[in-house]
């Protein structure tokens, strides 16, 4: 297979990858963005974005369309259906990126493969996931759409507790469902949750799971089961927020860069350098990501600015 030389290869065409490509291509670096499918990632599933500064409201796909047009107008190339299989760092410092059909030879790689919300795998979850039908994985993004409604939140980690507290600022009731008695979340957050629950908006159901999400066109109820007694109950609600963790899309890296125990890519937070010289990371797949559209794009920009330091002086990597 012939090698295609590029200054910058970006792996993943979500907001972080496109943000990186905009800055890299506009700085006249020969840039390609490879995506397993088509540009967008998680944000393609978002019906309404209203927390992107200066844009009142936009859908995820429209936002991505606009970003792709802008990025390609600066001559960045975007390659769809291009799944990366292997990355090799050569002795001369150049990086080989092997896809199923091509080999790229890059001076710099920016890893932006994103992450995916862990699924519950219950009936109704997929059906109501799209277009404001009532299943959500992001309290920060979607809480305002459930003003004065009753929602169910699921999970017992930091995200579940923080987002349940956030939901309580908008909803008339939040029933929090956790599969055991002890929370995985940090004690200070749990204390805050318990205090807040005394005010009556949050109700915690311990030792319970959601076994199905029900409705015709949108969420109307959820079926809860107590894991100790096996008793089931149908609870009317307008939405179900699932906070059971994230899976970063980093398996394909096969240990080339250091990951944390959950598979997120380790990096220094200032320049977004990974453990391998020439490989940067940006967006939801990295340790410490804020998991927001605006911060993913900002991450891409940081990586694209940092790469100039590395190309000027590779010794900078260890500084
Ligand atoms: P997490 O810590 O892995 O918690 C996931 C929660 O979902 C756990 O309570 C788990 O229950 C529950 N769960 C998993 N699968 C489930 C299922 N099938 N059915 C029902 N419940 C299920 O994930 P996270 O809350 O998304 O946090 C991700 C990482 O970010 C963590 O390392 C977290 O500490 C960090 N974070 C930190 C902060 C902070 O420091 N302020 C804020 C946000 C996130 P079990 O406990 O029973 O396993």
Number of C-beta neighbours around residue 55 at 10 A: 12
**Ligand 1 proximity of 40 Cβ (cutoff 6 Å):** no
For ligand 1, whether the C-beta of 209 sits within 6 Å is yes
* Closest ligand 1 atom number to CA of residue 262: 32
What is the tens place of the pLDDT at every residue in 53-102? 999 999 999 999 999 999 999 999 999 999 999 999 999 999 999 999 99
Q: Among 115, 136, 155, 165, say which to mutate for ligand 1: greatest number of ligand atoms within 8 Å of CB.
A: 155
Ligand 1 mutation pick, 166, 184, 224, 263, max ligand atoms within 8 A of CB: 184
- What confidence score (pLDDT) does residue 1 get? 75
Q: Using a 6 Å cutoff on CB, does residue 248 contact ligand 1?
A: no
Degrees to nearest 5, angle at CA 264 with 121 and 66: 80
* Distance (Å) from CA 118 to ligand 1 centroid: 10
Q: Are strands 208-214 and 221-226 parallel, antiparallel or unpaired?
A: antiparallel
Half-sphere exposure of 261 (CA within 13 A, CB side): 0
pLDDT of residue 12: 98
pLDDT of residue 48: 82
Q: List, in order of start, the domains of the chain with CATH numbers.
A: 3-116+246-318 (3.50.50.60), 119-242 (3.50.50.60)
Q: How far is the CA of 135 from the centre of ligand 1 (A)?
A: 18
Long-range contacts of 61-69 (CB under 8 A, 24+ apart): 63/15, 63/293, 64/15, 64/18, 64/39, 64/40, 67/15, 67/18, 67/19, 67/22, 67/39, 68/13, 68/18, 68/39
Mean pLDDT over the full length of the chain? 96
Over residues 13-37, the pLDDT tens digits come to: 999 999 999 999 999 999 999 999 9
What single DSSP character describes residue 266?
A: P
pLDDT tens digits, 254-274: 999 999 999 999 999 999 999
pTM: 0.85
Mean pLDDT of 281-300: 96
User: pLDDT band at 131, cuts 50/70/90?
Assistant: low
Residue 42's H or E segment, with its range, is: none
Ligand 1 within 6 A of CB of 172: no
| pLDDT tens digits, one per residue of 141-163 | 899 999 999 999 999 999 999 99
For ligand 1, is residue 156 a contact (CB within 6 Å)? yes
Residue 183's pLDDT band, with cuts at 50, 70 and 90, is very high
């Amino acid at each position: 297979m012939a090698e295609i030389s590029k200054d910058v290869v970006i792996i993943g065409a979500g907001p972080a990858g496109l943000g990186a490509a905009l800055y890299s291509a506009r700085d006249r670096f020969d840039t390609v963005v490879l995506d397993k499918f088509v540009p967008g990632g998680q944000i393609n599933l978002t019906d309404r974005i209203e927390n992107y500064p200066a844009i009142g409201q936009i859908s995820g796909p429209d936002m991505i369309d606009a970003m792709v047009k802008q990025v390609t107008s600066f001559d960045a190339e975007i390659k769809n259906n291009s799944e990366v299989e292997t990355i090799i760092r050569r002795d001369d410092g150049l990086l080989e990126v092997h896809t199923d059909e091509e080999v790229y030879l890059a001076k710099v790689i920016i890893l932006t493969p994103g992450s995916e919300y862990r699924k519950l795998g219950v009936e109704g979850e997929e059906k109501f996931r799209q277009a404001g039908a009532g299943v959500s994985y992001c309290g920060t993004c979607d809480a305002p759409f459930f003003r004065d409604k009753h929602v169910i939140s699921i999970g017992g980690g930091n995200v579940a507790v923080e987002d349940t507290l956030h939901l309580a600022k908008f909803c008339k009731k939040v029933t929090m469902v956790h599969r055991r008695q002890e929370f995985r979340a940090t004690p200070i957050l749990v204390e805050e949750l318990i205090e807040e629950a005394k005010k009556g908006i949050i109700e915690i159901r311990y030792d319970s799971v959601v076994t199905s999400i029900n409705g015709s066109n949108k969420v109307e109820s959820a079926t809860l089961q107590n894991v100790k007694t096996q008793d089931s109950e149908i609870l009317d609600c307008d939405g179900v927020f699932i906070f059971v963790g994230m899976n970063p899309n980093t398996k394909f890296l096969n240990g080339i860069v250091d990951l944390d125990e959950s598979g997120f890519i380790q990096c220094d937070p200032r320049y977004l350098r990974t453990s391998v010289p020439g490989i940067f990371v940006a967006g939801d797949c990295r340790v410490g990501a804020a998991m927001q559209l605006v911060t993913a794009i900002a991450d891409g920009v940081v990586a694209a600015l940092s790469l100039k330091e590395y190309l000027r002086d590779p010794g900078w990597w260890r500084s």
